């Protein structure tokens, strides 16, 4: 009887929410929109280079977070799609530039040769610049008219900040400065990842909310959700670098240890790091409780982050 009671109390959404199918469907929507965003015209080489990295089959976690938040807050996929494409372009641009010989000097990404290995360093730098320009153009041009124009400008501010010296770029600079040093403090490590990883994830989530007209209080709630999954995401990334093979990751594995890089597992150990990531995801999900069943996708994505293996 008790068991039956429990089953009946479970809301149908929870019983039937299928994250795998949800992610697959959203990934397809994003892939199609990204594909449509970049034609191949003269000079073909730059459009091909931009498409090569952008359409290399990423998981589309960032754009999906943006769409899911917009929907949770009462908006539509159409309202958020230009911004969703923009965050994936910004993310891809940061990967292309990070992989350059002058930076992390990586040959593989998402199981394929990195952009500069295929198109040369010069074109890779320009492909990143081109993706960045297109990201902002897309949000300004394609965000539908039922999104308040002031809110669209706020999204552009968020994206610019997440990308610039107060975000990705600032995090990468500190990361480069720490290279080869084994005495990095937890504070510095947190700075790097808050800027390199969390800032853009936060912009994805918060922008999705802003587009749907979220209140200041809701934006704060979304920010806390994003901060927590951002750190969890990075901890899992560090763990995977240790425990996975190149085939599983689609990029060079074991790089952190080889470079004697300070990471969360190197500070806390693997098991403690896993527990910490799980705890962060729990806190993130709790932030969304006021949104009830509508928060299911974002909560499921948070759990997915700690269970992923690539």
Structure tokens at 91: 């993310």
Contact status: 164 vs its own copies (CB under 8 A): yes
d(CA 245, CA 271): 19
> Shortest distance, CB of residue 19 to its own copies, whole angstroms?
32
Name the nearest CA neighbour of 80 among 18, 14, 158, 13: 158
Provide, rounded to whole angstroms, the least separation between the CB of residue 180 and its own copies.
13
> By CB under 8 A, is residue 160 in contact with its own copies?
yes
Task: Give the integer Cα–Cα distance in Å for 154 and 92.
Answer: 22
Residue among 152, 198, 207, 299 that touches its own copies (CB under 8 A): 152
Q: Taking CA 241 as the corner, what is the angle to CA 166 and CA 91, rounded to the nearest 5 degrees?
A: 35
Q: Are 149 and 129 in contact (CB under 8 A)?
A: no
Please report, as residue ranges, which positions from 76 to 105 form the binding site for its own copies (by CB under 8 A). 93-94, 97, 100, 102-103
Residue of 136, 213, 278, 282 that binds its own copies (CB under 8 A):
136
Task: Number of residues interacting with its own copies: please give it, by CB under 8 A.
Answer: 52
Burial 43-70 (b: 16+ CB within 10 A, else e): eeebbebbbbbbebebebbbbbbbbbbb
CA distance 187 to 189: 5
- Interface residue with its own copies among 32, 176, 293, 308 (CB under 8 A) is 176
Q: Which is nearer to its own copies, 151 or 240 (CB)?
A: 151
Q: What is the CA radius of gyration of the chain?
A: 19
Instruction: Compose the 27-66 pattern: x for residues touching its own copies by CB under 8 A, - for all others.
Output: ----------------x-xxx--x----------------
Contact footprint for its own copies (CB under 8 A):
43, 45-47, 50, 93-94, 97, 100, 102-103, 120-123, 125-126, 128-130, 132-141, 149-150, 152-154, 156-157, 159-161, 163-165, 167-170, 172-174, 176-177
């Amino acid at each position: 009887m008790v068991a039956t009671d429990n089953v009946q109390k479970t809301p149908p959404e929870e019983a039937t929410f299928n994250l795998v199918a949800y992610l697959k469907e959203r990934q397809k929507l994003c892939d199609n929109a990204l594909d449509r965003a970049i034609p191949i015209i003269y000079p073909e080489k730059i459009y091909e280079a931009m498409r090569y990295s952008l359409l290399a089959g990423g998981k589309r976690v960032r754009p999906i977070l943006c769409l899911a938040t917009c929907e949770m807050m009462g908006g539509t996929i159409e309202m958020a799609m230009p911004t969703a494409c923009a965050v994936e372009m910004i993310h891809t641009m940061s990967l292309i530039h990070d992989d350059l010989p002058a930076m992390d000097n990586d040959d593989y990404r998402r199981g394929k040769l990195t952009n500069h290995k295929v198109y040369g360093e010069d074109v890779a730098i320009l492909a990143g610049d081109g993706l960045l320009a297109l990201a902002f153009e897309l949000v300004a041009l394609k965000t539908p008219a039922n999104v308040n124009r002031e809110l669209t400008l706020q999204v552009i501010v968020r994206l610019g900040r997440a990308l610039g010296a107060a975000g990705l770029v600032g995090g990468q600079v500190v990361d480069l400065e720490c290279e080869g040093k084994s005495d990095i403090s937890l504070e510095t490590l947190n700075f790097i990842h808050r800027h390199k990883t969390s800032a853009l994830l936060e912009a994805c989530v918060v922008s999705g909310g802003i587009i749907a007209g979220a209140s200041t209080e809701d934006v704060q709630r979304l920010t806390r959700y994003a901060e927590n999954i951002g750190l969890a995401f990075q901890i899992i990334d560090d763990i995977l670098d240790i425990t996975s093979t190149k085939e599983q990751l689609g990029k060079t594995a074991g790089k952190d240890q080889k470079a004697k890089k300070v990471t969360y597992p190197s500070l806390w150990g693997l098991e403690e790091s896993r527990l910490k990531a799980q705890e962060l995801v729990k806190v993130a999900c709790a932030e969304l409780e006021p949104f009830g069943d509508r928060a299911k996708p974002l909560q499921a994505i948070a759990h997915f982050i700690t269970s992923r293996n690539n």
